[in-house]
Structure 1
């Protein structure tokens, strides 16, 4: 996996899965306001708002954050955080933690897999993760989208209440709403993120531009975040719009995309691009650095426990 030296002993699967989930939670804690701003920008223009919320408009990532703090308070930036952390423990543990194992399965244990194998492994673990963690993503997006304003009715008041309400009102299909666009989006994100990180890092080390340390990880992660944002933004916007929509607004994710194109034009697919990039870039940096450190710390603890036993 990325970040390991050839001489290092690969960590066991359990260490990779646990450290991936924990690192993703750390990254979410740091970057969650950017993700919330991204969601607000993506859904802006979807429906006409009424009452006290009618005059609120979001302009740019920092303008959105500033507007939310002024109108709803700082806590609004962390709407849906609990569901977000639940999502990362279920989602990142699979898509990142199982990446090496799936890659090795496709190559039958051979070293130096080609780009096609890496992409296939990234798409596989990304799709697997979404299939399991989709309800947490639906709840997270809906919390981030709702406004905390007097005079504006809240759809949900708590994470568990949101799961129950969606299930009672929309059934299991509501909890897994938008699974297809989310699988598409996260398969793209996962393979682009992991493969581009791998390739950028390998190129840096091969040309001896940096050594295998924190600056190298930072540059690789930031580059992977930009590439991933460019490729995945259109699917991400459709996913957010569709998951946040009430029953009956769109007949399918494709209908949602077509409605966006005809009513708002092609630029609608890149709404929230700047916060998406800032979020993915910073998220990748925090996650990959934390991931490597957590893996090493767990391996050291594991060896110490084996020595004392």
Structure 2
């Protein structure tokens, strides 16, 4: 790509921010559904919502419509870093490797695309983890202060580990989503080119197909990382017997399944899928239009 190497990074970041604004209320309902029903966390034992629509309605009625967008600014900050690094790294790595293959990049190489996508997703989500932690807590109504003040207080009370709480599950989830979503999108887009051309209908159909696969694959890890991020562990504080903290991804997985059953790993699946579909549609349509305009 030569002197245009910066463009996938800029396009990816801007398109991610646009998509985040368009689908954030669905993400809020997903987070609240995933948090509720935890038998080890006294704050969230109660099942307050029966589903996505019930959560949407109750949140709007009890806390106001504005509550559905609580956490939008750390989410935008996350996309400005995560989206920029993820999509820019993926397309740059993919193109660079394609240029050095024997076929010169004329054939889509699925294993290469999957590796590049998973690497880009895991790396970018690890870097952006502090913004994700704050987003989750604000969506639950635990944080309502100034964005900068929230970050400072979280670091002061919980230390560096607090900022990167759940980073393992977050990186694994992001790598899994990207490893499924981006190669599937590229493959579907190329397969549909003869019928639909490189046009919005093609981008729309490829986005929908990519969303379903990534939602099924990633929801269990999404539940785990959301629960881990929502837990607090203050620096130099010994936990009380009644306060149990997940020690890692496996611990959270096992405790969730033992106390709530396997289907608990798919809490919030409907809003996850319903969000991924529109999110990917908005993202890829915006991304593709930017590519054509500039």
Q: TM-score, normalised by structure 2?
A: 0.89
Contact 2:8 2:91 in 1 (8 A): no
- Give the corresponding residue for 2:250: 254
Cα RMSD of the aligned pairs, angstroms, is 1.9
- Give the corresponding residue for 2:36: 44
- Give the corresponding residue for 1:304: none
Contact 1:225 1:277 in 2 (8 A): yes
Within the candidate set 20, 23, 38, 1:28 is matched to 20
Contact 2:215 2:269 in 1 (8 A): yes
Within the candidate set 142, 157, 170, 2:145 is matched to 157
**Residue 245 in structure 1 maps to residue 231 in structure 2:** yes
- Give the corresponding residue for 2:94: 103
Structure 1, unmatched stretches of 5+, are 1-8, 147-153, 300-309
**Residue 94 in structure 1 maps to residue 85 in structure 2:** yes
Q: Aligned partners of 1:12, 1:100: CA distance in 2, in Å?
A: 12
- Partner SS state of residue 97, structure 1: helix
- Give the corresponding residue for 2:166: 178
Structure 2, unmatched stretches of 5+, are 234-243
Cα deviation, residue 263, structure 1: 0.2
Alignment of 1:60-209 (within 5 A): 60-107=51-98, 108=100, 110-111=104-105, 112-146=107-141, 154-205=142-193, 208-209=194-195
Cα deviation, residue 156, structure 1: 4.5
Cα deviation, residue 41, structure 1: 0.5
Q: 1:19 to 1:134 in 2, by over 3 A?
A: same
The Cα offsets for residues 210-245 of structure 1, whole Å up to 9 and x where unpaired, read as: 222111110100111111000111111101011111
Cα deviation, residue 179, structure 1: 1.0
Q: 1:175 to 1:49 in 2, by over 3 A?
A: closer
Q: Aligned partners of 2:275, 2:2: CA distance in 1, in Å?
A: 29
Q: 1:263 to 1:56 in 2, by over 3 A?
A: closer
- Give the corresponding residue for 1:236: 222
Q: Aligned partners of 2:85, 2:128: CA distance in 1, in Å?
A: 10
- Partner SS state of residue 98, structure 1: helix
- Partner SS state of residue 49, structure 2: coil
Q: 1:218 to 1:43 in 2, by over 3 A?
A: same
Within the candidate set 269, 273, 282, 1:273 is matched to 269
Q: Aligned partners of 2:184, 2:274: CA distance in 1, in Å?
A: 17
- Give the corresponding residue for 1:306: none
Cα deviation, residue 11, structure 1: 8.2
**Residue 217 in structure 1 maps to residue 217 in structure 2:** no
Q: 1:97 to 1:223 in 2, by over 3 A?
A: same
- Partner SS state of residue 168, structure 1: helix
Contact 1:142 1:244 in 2 (8 A): yes
Q: Aligned partners of 1:140, 1:209: CA distance in 2, in Å?
A: 41
Contact 1:222 1:281 in 2 (8 A): yes
- Give the corresponding residue for 2:48: 57
Q: Aligned partners of 1:37, 1:265: CA distance in 2, in Å?
A: 21
